[in-house]
Structure formats: structure tokens, C-alpha cells
Amino acid sequence: MAFTNPSDTLYYIVRETVEGTTPTTPAFKGLDTIPGSTDFSADSKALSSEVLKANRSSGQLAKTNFSSKGSLKTDFRRDTSMDLLIESGIGGAFTANVAKAGGTDYTHTIEAKYVVGGTPGIVRYPGMTVSKFGLSVDAESKAQVSLDLIGMAPTSNATAIAGSTYTAPTQGPLIVGDDVNTITIGSLTAVFTSLDLSVEHKRAARFGLGSINSLGTGTEGMRDVKLTVKMYRSDWTPETIFNNDTPVSCAFTLGNGTGNAYTFTLPAIQSATLAKNENSGSNVLVTVDLVGSYDNTLGTDLQVTKS
């Protein structure tokens, strides 16, 4: 018996115009992932009867509330697919290479292509939207992104849609620690060792009477934008800047050269914690947890610029 291998699984993504509806002739873009750190699957709810039957047996069980969920991890680099994920993660589209976080929920169809016994097979996940976007990089590692997604009921053992096309990712070079060459946080002068950015929405599947499948995805409350930075202890300016509640601006660029970089701007960040000392081997580091707030001038709490 032949089994499928994670090494033979490929993922593709296409933007939807109508939530849960794959375009008629979809132009799928390759979605690079890290095997073992990426998983898309069907999700459901099991309802069992609480009625006691003869011989202490339980009653019947029924499955309902079919939807999809996914987790994805990959290298963070300039990529046509990465643009789609950023837009979905922040709720804003790139216009003239600038995307402001907003209130638009972008959805996608994601296809997972498996090879089972030498025969290709497709699982199609419609209506997939990013609920959490996480970006991390440190001085000794490459930049990576991790995402949580939620969507509508998948179709297993699907066939390719007539007229669909599949293209490989269009990527810039790998981004590593020394490619994070600009970090500006207020008037702070420091040498940073790591940064972690997260953008999260509270999202949940919608269900209605008469349908076993999800009707779509709803979003609750505000967007949470958080940034954690670590720096070498060289003076006491972190306490001066962060131990009060005065918002400061923040911007950092990942990548070098034209067509290879993203710049993240958080126009009004405030510290959620006091600056904290941390002993790390032969160094003393300072850690600060920051939260993004709305800025009247920029009209958002987060902006991403491609350069």
C-alpha cells in the first residue's frame, strides 16, 4: 500500500471576490510552507444524545457545524502570496505599495495538493481568512511568519477547476537578522536583538438552521496589534520612553534593495509593561511589550509599505 508524504504536499492560494466562492477560472499562486509546521483540516462539532438507552448505552451522535481551520508557517520574504496573506491579516489592501490596516475581511480559496498512491488529489478550502498574523526575527535567525486561518467547509478528493492555472511563488531573497537594518522607535537609540509582531482578530464561523456547513466567518471587537522588542542594555532611555503612557511612533524594515523589502509602521504604540531586564548568557537585555493604537494622522494603527 502506498501512502502520501508531507514532502509531496503543495499548497496554492487565490483571492475570492465572494466569500466562499472560488473564482470561475482561478489563477492560483504557490504558497510555500514549512513541512511539519503547516496543517489545514476539516473541523466539525459532535453532538451526542444525553438520553439513556437500555443497558446504560448512550443515544445517537450527529456531526454538524462543518468548517475549516489552518495553521501555516513559512519564511517571511517578498512574495505575491505573502502580499495576499498580509492583506488578509491586517484587513487592508496594497494601493501604490501601501496597505493600511482596516476593516475589510479578505477571503481565499486554498488548495492542498496531495499525492496518494502516485495519483494527485486535491482538498479545497474555501472562505479562508487570517485570524492571526505573527512575524518574528532575531539577530541569529531568518525572518518567519506564522498564521492561523479559519474558513468554510472543505471539499475532499476534489478535481481541478477547469481553466485554473498554478504558478510558482514570486519571491525575493531570504530575509535574515542583518537584513532588519532600520528600526525606529520614538527617540530610542538601541541595538536590538529580536522583534515579534502579532496582528490578531477574534473570528468565528457562522452557522444557521438548515445548513450543516459554515455560512462564513464573523469578526468580533477590535484588532489587537502587539510588538515585543528586545535590545541590549546600554542606557536608561527605555525607562524614560516606555514607562509612561505617551504614544510614540515605530517603524522597521525587513529586507534590502528594490522589490525585496517590507516596512511596518506602527504610528502610535504604548508600552503594556514596564521595561524589563533579562540576563541572557553574557548580556543584559531589555524587553518591552508594546501595543498599537489608532493614530489620527495616519488613520490606522498599522501600515505596511512595499519597497
Would you list the DSSP string of the chain? Answer: -----GGG-EEEEEE-SBTTB--SS-EEEE----TTS-EEEEEEEEEE-----GGG----EEEEEEEEEEEEEEE---BHHHHHHHHHHHT---BTTEEE--S----EEEEEEEEETTEEEEEEEEEEEEEEEEEEEETTSB-EEEEEEEES--EEEEPPPTT-EEE---B----BGGG--EEEETT----EEEEEEEEEEEEEEE--TT-SB--EEEEEEEEEEEEEEEEE--SSHHHHHHSS---EEEEEEES-STTS-EEEEEEEEEESS--EEEEETTEEEEEEEEEE--BTTTTBS-EEEE-
Residue 79 forms part of a structural domain: yes
pLDDT for the residue 257? 75
Residue 185 forms part of a structural domain: yes
Average pLDDT over every residue of 56-81: 92
Print the domain residue range for 149. Answer: 8-44+66-306
Distance CA 92, CA 206 (A): 22
More confident residue, 54 or 78: 78
Distance CA 264, CA 179 (A): 14
Q: How many domains does the chain have?
A: 1
Give me 278's grid cell: 533579562
Please tell me the total number of residues recorded for the chain in this structure: 307
- pLDDT digits 0-9 by tens, 122-134: 999 999 999 999 9
- pLDDT digits 0-9 by tens, 33-53: 988 888 899 999 999 888 888
Residue 57 forms part of a structural domain: no
Residue 212 forms part of a structural domain: yes
The mean of the pLDDT values for the chain is 92
Distance CA 245, CA 224 (A): 18
Distance CA 207, CA 64 (A): 10
105, 72 in Cβ contact below 8 A?
A: no
Average pLDDT over every residue of 261-275: 94
The pTM (predicted TM-score) of the whole model is 0.92
Residue 1 forms part of a structural domain: no
135, 143 in Cβ contact below 8 A?
A: yes
Distance CA 50, CA 38 (A): 36
Residue 53 forms part of a structural domain: no
Residue 102 forms part of a structural domain: yes
pLDDT for the residue 170? 83
Residue 118 in this model has a pLDDT that exceeds 80? no
Average pLDDT over every residue of 69-77: 95
pLDDT band of 24, cuts 50, 70, 90? very high
- pLDDT digits 0-9 by tens, 170-212: 888 999 999 997 899 998 889 999 999 999 999 999 999 999 9
Residue 112 forms part of a structural domain: yes
Average pLDDT over every residue of 136-142: 94
Average pLDDT over every residue of 57-70: 91
Average pLDDT over every residue of 41-67: 89
Distance CA 242, CA 144 (A): 27
pLDDT for the residue 144? 96
Residue 1 in this model has a pLDDT that exceeds 70? no
pLDDT for the residue 60? 86
Residue 269 in this model has a pLDDT that exceeds 70? yes
